[in-house]
Amino acid sequence: MSRLRAVSLIAFALAATACTKSSDQRTGNVLGLNTPGLVTGGAAAGYVDIDKVVAAHPLNSRLQALQDQITLLNAAAVSGPTPVTPAQIKAQDNLQRDLADAQTAFTQALADKQSAYRVKEEQADADISAKALGGTAAGPGGIVGGLQADFQRQMVAMQLSARKTLDAYRSDLYKQDADHLKHVQALLSQDVAAKLRAKDSQLSAGETAYQIRLARQDQDQRLNLKAKLDNLSLSPADRQTYANQLQAIESREASLTGQMKAIDQTTETAYRKQIQDDAAKRFNAERLATEKDTNSKLAARQTELESSIRTQATALGGQFQSKLNSANASLSGNQKVQTQLSDEHAKILAQYQADADAAMASYQATRKQLVAKYSAVARMQFQDNVALSMQAEALAQQRKQLYDGIVRQVQSVVADVARRDGVGIVFGTIAGAGNAVDLTDQVAKEAAALPSTTSQPVAPGG
Amino acid sequence: MLAALAAASFLLVAPQALATDISDVGFIDQGAVSDLAPFQAARQQFTAYQQSLSPQFQAAIKGKSQADQQAISAQFNQKLAAEQQQLFSALFARAQTAIAAVAANKGLNVVVDKSIVIYGGMDITKDVLDVMNQPGPVVPPVNSPAPSEIGYVDQTQLDALPKAKSAQDTFMQYRQQLQSQLNQQLAGKTDAQKPAIIQSFNSQLSDEQKKVIQPLVDATTKAITDVAKSKGLLLVIDQTARVYGGTDVTADVVKALQ
CB of A32 within 8 Å of a chain B CB? The answer is no
Q: What is the pLDDT of residue A427?
A: 94
Contact A350, A38 (CB under 8 A): no
Cross-strand bridge partners of residue B71: none
Which residues of chain B neighbour A122 with C-beta distances below 8 Å? none
Q: What is the pLDDT of residue A17?
A: 30
- Does residue A236 carry a pLDDT above 60? yes
Contact A100, A422 (CB under 8 A): no
The residue of chain A with its CA nearest to that of B229 is A434
pLDDT band at A82 (very low <50, low <70, confident <90, very high): confident
Which residues of chain B neighbour A435 with C-beta distances below 8 Å? 16, 19-20, 149, 228-229, 232-235
Judge: A433–B27 Cβ closer than 8 Å, yes or no: no
Judge: A434–B233 Cβ closer than 8 Å, yes or no: yes
Which one of B156, B235, B253 would you mutate to disrupt binding with A, by most A Cβ within 10 Å of its Cβ?
A: B235
- Does residue A163 carry a pLDDT above 70? yes
- Does residue B77 carry a pLDDT above 90? yes
Q: What is the pLDDT of residue A15?
A: 32
DSSP B103-117: HHHHT-SEEEEGGGE
CB of B151 within 8 Å of a chain A CB? The answer is yes
Q: Whole-angstrom Cα distance, residue A67 to residue A402?
A: 11
Share of chain A above pLDDT 70, in %: 85
Among left, alpha and beta (phi > 0; psi -120 to 50; other), residue B246 is: left
Q: What is the pLDDT of residue A31?
A: 30
Would you mind telling me the total number of residues written for chain A in this entry? 462
Least confident of A14-18, A233-237, B19-23: A14-18
Which residues of chain A neighbour B129 with C-beta distances below 8 Å? none
Q: What is the pLDDT of residue A157?
A: 87
Could you read off the pLDDT of A127-136 as tens digits, one per residue? 888 787 776 5
Could you read off the pLDDT of A273-327 as tens digits, one per residue? 999 999 999 999 999 999 999 999 999 988 888 888 888 888 877 777 777 777 7
Give the residue, B210 or A9, on which the prediction is more confident. B210
ipTM score for this prediction: 0.80
What's the average model confidence in pLDDT over B132-151? 85
Cross-strand bridge partners of residue B111: B26, B244
How many C-beta neighbours within 10 Å does residue B14 have?
Answer: 16
Residue A1 in 3-state DSSP?
coil
What's the average model confidence in pLDDT over A223-250? 92
How confident is the prediction for chain B on average, in pLDDT?
Answer: 86
Contact B151, B236 (CB under 8 A): yes
Contact B28, B123 (CB under 8 A): yes
pLDDT band at A144 (very low <50, low <70, confident <90, very high): low
The residue of chain B with its CA nearest to that of A72 is B198
Q: Whole-angstrom Cα distance, residue A434 to residue A231?
A: 156
| A353 DSSP 8-state letter | H
Could you read off the pLDDT of B44-64 as tens digits, one per residue? 999 999 888 888 888 898 888
Q: What is the pTM of this model?
A: 0.54
> To 10 degrees, what angle do helices B2-19 and A23-31 make?
90
Task: Tell me how far apart the 2 most distant CA atoms of chain A are, in Å.
Answer: 178
Least confident of A95-99, A377-381, B7-11, B22-26: B7-11
Residue type, A387: A
Q: What is the pLDDT of residue A139?
A: 55
- Does residue B223 carry a pLDDT above 80? yes
Q: Whole-angstrom Cα distance, residue A355 to residue A346?
A: 14
Q: Whole-angstrom Cα distance, residue A452 to residue B216?
A: 35
Tally: H helices and E strands in chain A: 11, 4
The residue of chain B with its CA nearest to that of A325 is B135
Strands B235-238 and B25-28: unpaired
CB of A63 within 8 Å of a chain B CB? The answer is no
- Does residue A365 carry a pLDDT above 50? yes
Q: What is the pLDDT of residue A143?
A: 59
How many C-beta neighbours within 10 Å does residue A379 have?
Answer: 10
Q: Whole-angstrom Cα distance, residue A294 to residue A292?
A: 5
- Does residue B18 carry a pLDDT above 70? no
Judge: A75–B182 Cβ closer than 8 Å, yes or no: yes
pLDDT band at A454 (very low <50, low <70, confident <90, very high): low
Q: What is the pLDDT of residue B167?
A: 92
Q: What stretch of H or E contains B119? A: strand B117-120
The rounded Cα A423 to chain-centroid distance in angstroms is: 51
Select, from the ranges A6-15, B74-83, B144-153, the one with the highest average predicted confidence (pLDDT).
Answer: B74-83
The rounded Cα B49 to chain-centroid distance in angstroms is: 27
- Does residue A232 carry a pLDDT above 50? yes
How many C-beta neighbours within 10 Å does residue A287 have?
Answer: 15
pLDDT band at A79 (very low <50, low <70, confident <90, very high): low
Of B118, B186, B231, the CB nearest to A428: B118
Q: What is the pLDDT of residue A43?
A: 64
The rounded Cα A452 to chain-centroid distance in angstroms is: 54
Q: What is the pLDDT of residue A212?
A: 92
Give the residue, A150 or A230, on which the prediction is more confident. A230
Q: What is the pLDDT of residue A366?
A: 92
What's the average model confidence in pLDDT over A264-269? 93
CB of B48 within 8 Å of a chain A CB? The answer is no
Nearest by Cα to A414 from A388, A435, A438, A439:
A439
What's the average model confidence in pLDDT over B10-28? 57
Judge: B115–A428 Cβ closer than 8 Å, yes or no: yes
Of A26, A72, A425, the CB nearest to B194: A72
Nearest by Cα to A357 from A110, A111, A102:
A110
Share of chain A above pLDDT 90, in %: 46
The residue of chain A with its CA nearest to that of B20 is A44
Which residues, in sequence order, are CB contacts of B131 under 8 Å at separation 6+?
Answer: B98, B101, B102, B138
How confident is the prediction for chain A on average, in pLDDT?
Answer: 82
Which residues of chain B neighbour A68 with C-beta distances below 8 Å? 195, 198-199, 202
Q: What is the pLDDT of residue A358?
A: 93
Cα distance from B139 to chain A (closest Cα, Å)?
19
Residue type, A118: R
Q: What is the pLDDT of residue A335?
A: 85
Among left, alpha and beta (phi > 0; psi -120 to 50; other), residue B232 is: left
Could you read off the pLDDT of A100-125 as tens digits, one per residue? 899 889 988 988 998 899 889 888 88
What's the average model confidence in pLDDT over A55-72? 90
Of B22, B119, B221, the CB nearest to A414: B119
pLDDT band at A80 (very low <50, low <70, confident <90, very high): low
Q: Whole-angstrom Cα distance, residue A106 to residue A362?
A: 9
- Does residue B9 carry a pLDDT above 60? no
Give B 177-206 residues with CB within 8 A of chain A: 179, 182-184, 186-187, 194-195, 198-199, 201-202
